[in-house]
Amino acid sequence: MQRFRQQTSFPRPAIRRSIALLLAAMLSACGGGSGGSGASPAPSEAPVAPPPVKVLPPVLAGVPSLLQTPGGMAVDRAGNTFVLDAGRQVVLKFTPDGAVSTLAGSDMVFGSQDGVGTGASFRFNYESRMLIDAAGNLVVTDTCNNTIRRITPAGAVSTVAGQTGYSCGVRDNPLQPDRQPVRRTFHRPGGIALDTNGDYLVLSGARELQRVTPTGKVTSVEWARSGGPIRPSSLVVAKGGAIYAADSVRVYRVGNNGVLQLIAGQPVSGMADGQGEAAGFNLIGAMAMSESGDVLIADGGRLRKMTPAGMVTTVIGGDGTGIVRDGDAASARFGTLVALAFDPAGQLIGVDGVARTLRRISASGEVTTFAATPSAGGTVDGTGAAARFGSLSHVASDSKGNLYVADRQRYVIRRVAPSGQTSVFAGVPGVKNNALTGVFRADAFASPDNVVIDGKEVMYVSDIGRIVKIKDGAMTTLVDFSGNTRLGAVYGMAVDLDGNLAVAYINAALIYAPSGKLIRTIDVNNFSPEMTANRAGYVLTPRALAFDRAGNLYMAEPYSHVVFKVAKDGPLSVFAGTLGVAGDQDGAPGTASLGFYSQVQMTFVPNGDMYMTGHGKLRKVSPDGSVSTPALAWGYPHLLSITSSNGLLKGMTRYAVMQTPLPQ
């Protein structure tokens, strides 16, 4: 297989500026342009060549993964493999000789537009899946649009069934831009399989199996099963017409009128080979039918096999959490398999959602990784491309331009210098505090996450049950909330110029003085009557925080689909976006819309602009609350976090630290 090479292109504006500078220097050396006198110029010293213009590399450290959030996958009769990427919002095509191209969609563009190639848009998420129909078209569940879409081999996208309406946020039924409620035939369609008659079988909602004809006619049946409700997430059809559905720990055969017959598995997770209910699964993510009639099951980091009679055995995989490697059936390891499909040669292709790779499994059990999708994740310190990153968190930067990120796999905070050199800043690699076992070290973390730094270079880190303060290398507990179940987890933090720390918990934002004393609580009691009416009694859900230089606090809130501004010692108001409206529209407050598709982080830059992740392409919010989508030199990477310092924006994608100059 030919190796796929990722080529870095330098931004055209930078090249044009370099050429302009060189031309200006040449014109200056020649006495200017038109309009000069015809007299001979006075003798002068030989012109000095301008210094070379340094082009900032967009990748500071690590290696960005081609697949950011891979999900559904299918293989056609020619051996082409298609993968949808819910992070990038594209459908990629991998040819048998290793060439990679985008079949449909455009990087970081969320939408519901039918069209050809990059003219189409989707709202995929981790549940979105695909199949290839009898005519050779791809059929995908566009989960967050509540639609079924068809993609021809030429990349032409059309909607087969469903009414478009975003429904994957905290607010399950947001308003359309025209402020009308979303109508829907489907509710977050996910698993999909091709029936023997050519219909598409779709898993939709908590209790529905829906049948869609190629012409778009939809019929539905609710699951009928004794013992309570169920939500299957995987679906496969045998050659003889038998339909199998699975939730995360059980596999069923689907009978007439939606009656589910348990074939294998137990109500709780647990790894065990065996017959029927003696078998145990950890995390079923996908199923595929073999030629022999057995069901191949992606079970977390293992590939399992189930006979029609319900005998379950493990084919590949075993203990070794976090280990991903190729090899024979005994030694190969997966991260988490999320999709399976057979190619024309009878080899099984799997999508490894943790490693973000495509894996090929031969009939003998030999596992190899597609050359086009090498594993780029890890937890290795080094410089530039030698560094590796795994779990991602909110990031922070100091006055020297260093970036800091939490590494939850090694339980440390890592520092990325402006040179790209990566090292451990705080914590003890491999040492984890554990309240259950009583293991605690003052210089260690349990699970570090959010990181912020104040104007005096003091760092604050959210850990399990506490906020850690790091000053002059010493770690202390600033806030202990381990006994307060009402607060829950920490979703975001921010610190102002006075050292006051704002922390976003599950249903409130709390502000602490530098001493750790609670000085303000922001919750639903801060809403105006209009905001309260719009929420229909729903609690506050802050998910990202930022302070401006004046000390005003900004809160990204996914239920309302807006950014709130909390004035210093004053009221709460809508700063950006439109209450209750999900979307990607730029514009003024009350006109713009925000999607809240992924992790949100906000950062202010010196001119007062705010930059924000989580809404598709990086968004910019001006001081008056107007939202725009800037075109920056690094393009449109799938950013999950953002910070700024020393004239640069820096952020993290999987699995690299990116950087770009701020607009002048």
Q: Domain coordinates of the chain in residue numbers? A: 70-168+183-220, 523-663
Ramachandran region, residue 456 (left: φ > 0; alpha: ψ -120 to 50; beta: rest): alpha
| β-bridge pairing 156-161 and 147-151 | antiparallel
339-386: pLDDT as tens digits:
999 999 999 999 999 999 999 999 999 999 999 999 999 999 999 999
70-168+183-220: CATH number = 2.120.10.30
Res. 39: pLDDT tops 50: no
Res. 456: pLDDT tops 70: yes
Q: CA 617 → CA 321, 597, 620, 652, distances in Å?
A: 33, 10, 10, 13
DSSP annotation of 377 reads: B
Name every residue whose Cβ is closer than 8 Å to that of residue 191 and which is 6 or more positions away in sequence.
127, 129, 141, 202, 203, 232, 233, 234, 235, 245
Res. 80: pLDDT tops 70: yes
Torsion sign (Cα): 327, 329, 333, 334:
positive
519-559: pLDDT as tens digits:
999 998 888 776 766 655 567 899 999 999 999 999 999 98
Query: What's the CA gap between 487 and 480, in Å, rounded?
Result: 11
At 634 the pLDDT is 96
Res. 449: pLDDT tops 90: yes
DSSP annotation of 383 reads: B
Query: What's the CA gap between 299 and 280, in Å, rounded?
Result: 10
Going through 133-283 in order, the beta strands assigned E by DSSP cover: 138-142, 147-151, 156-161, 192-194, 200-204, 208-212, 218-222, 234-237, 243-246, 250-254, 260-265, 274-275
- Give the pLDDT band of residue 582 (cuts 50, 70, 90): confident
Query: What's the CA gap between 186 and 250, in Å, rounded?
Result: 24
Query: What's the CA gap between 111 and 20, in Å, rounded?
Result: 38
At 487 the pLDDT is 87
SS3 of 18, please? helix
Residue with tokens 């589910």: 260
Under a CB-based contact definition with an 8 Å cutoff, are residues 92 and 81 in contact?
no
Q: Minimum mean pLDDT among 22-26, 83-87, 297-301, 501-505: which range? A: 22-26
Within this chain, domains 70-168+183-220 and 523-663 share the same CATH topology: yes
Residue with the larger pLDDT of the pair 40 and 247: 247
Tokens of 465: 């049950």
Which residue type, as a one-letter code, is found at position 616?
A: G
Which residue type, as a one-letter code, is found at position 544?
A: A
At 417 the pLDDT is 98
Residue with the larger pLDDT of the pair 1 and 316: 316
Q: What residues does 313 pair with on adjacent strands?
A: 305
At 14 the pLDDT is 39
Torsion sign (Cα): 205, 539, 617, 422:
negative
Closest among 632, 635, 659 to 648, alpha carbons compared: 659
Residue with the larger pLDDT of the pair 90 and 168: 90
DSSP letter string, 59-94: EEEE---S-SSEEEEEE-TT--EEEEETTTTEEEEE
Residue with tokens 């090899």: 327
- Give the pLDDT band of residue 172 (cuts 50, 70, 90): low
Query: What's the CA gap between 447 and 34, in Å, rounded?
Result: 67
484-520: pLDDT as tens digits:
888 889 999 999 999 999 999 999 999 999 999 999 9
pTM of the model: 0.88
Can you give the three-state secondary structure of 428-453, one letter per residue? CCCCECECCCCECCCCCECCCCCEEE
At 21 the pLDDT is 34
Query: What's the CA gap between 547 and 173, in Å, rounded?
Result: 30
SS3 of 333, please? strand
- Give the pLDDT band of residue 2 (cuts 50, 70, 90): very low
Which helix H or strand E contains 285, and what residues bound it?
Answer: strand 284-289
Most confident region among 474-488, 563-577, 643-657 by mean pLDDT: 643-657
Mean pLDDT of the chain, nearest integer: 88
Residue with tokens 């009978």: 255
Tokens of 364: 């003998």
At 49 the pLDDT is 53
284-294: pLDDT as tens digits:
999 999 999 99
Under a CB-based contact definition with an 8 Å cutoff, are residues 613 and 658 in contact?
no
The residue-averaged pLDDT of 162-173 equals 75
Helices (H), 117-217: none
Query: What's the CA gap between 179 and 360, in Å, rounded?
Result: 47
Which helix H or strand E contains 642, and what residues bound it?
Answer: strand 641-645
Closest among 613, 562, 566 to 592, alpha carbons compared: 562
Torsion sign (Cα): 61, 63, 66, 70:
negative
CATH architecture for the domain at 523-663: 6 Propeller (2.120)
